[in-house]
Amino acid sequence: MDIVVPAALGSMLTSRTAADLRCRAVVGPANNQLATPDVADLLHQRDIIWVPDYVASAGGVINAISTELHRVSADEARARVRAIEDTVDDLLDTAQRCGQTPAQAASELARRRLNGTSGPTGTNHGAVADPGSVAR
């Protein structure tokens, strides 16, 4: 299989399951998929891309905030949700460029957005250019 999609249970990715996986990526909405943080490193060592649950699940939150709180049109809300693709691309590129796991890059991205600071090269990257642009 190409992608495993954990969608119901947390902590299902353990060091044992990570060793047994035969896929290219793990991307799903289940919360807290990793039993322990070091599982992200194990996946990375096996060249299995893991996109953190809070990144994979962002579409629902962005759509709800956009339509309910910010009262934007359905087209604008969809555009904001589609921007997740740019964020994930940036996340994976940053992880590769910096020799990090996608989990580490996602944590850094979240920290930068919360602090309103720029990325590692002094500029914000891709969809990160305006920290509030996606969730406005």
User: Residue 35, exposed/middle/buried by CB under 10 A (0-12, 13-18, 19+)?
Assistant: middle
Q: Would you say residue 136 has pLDDT above 50?
A: no
- 51-67 pLDDT tens trace: 988 888 899 999 999 99
| Alpha-carbon distances, residue 24 vs 47, 50, 134 (angstroms) | 7, 9, 27
Checking if the pLDDT of 128 tops 50, the result is: no
pLDDT tens-digit readout, 58-91? 999 999 999 999 999 999 999 999 998 998 898 8
Question: Residue 7: is its pLDDT beyond 70?
Answer: yes
Question: pLDDT per residue over 100-117, tens digit each?
Answer: 988 899 888 889 889 987
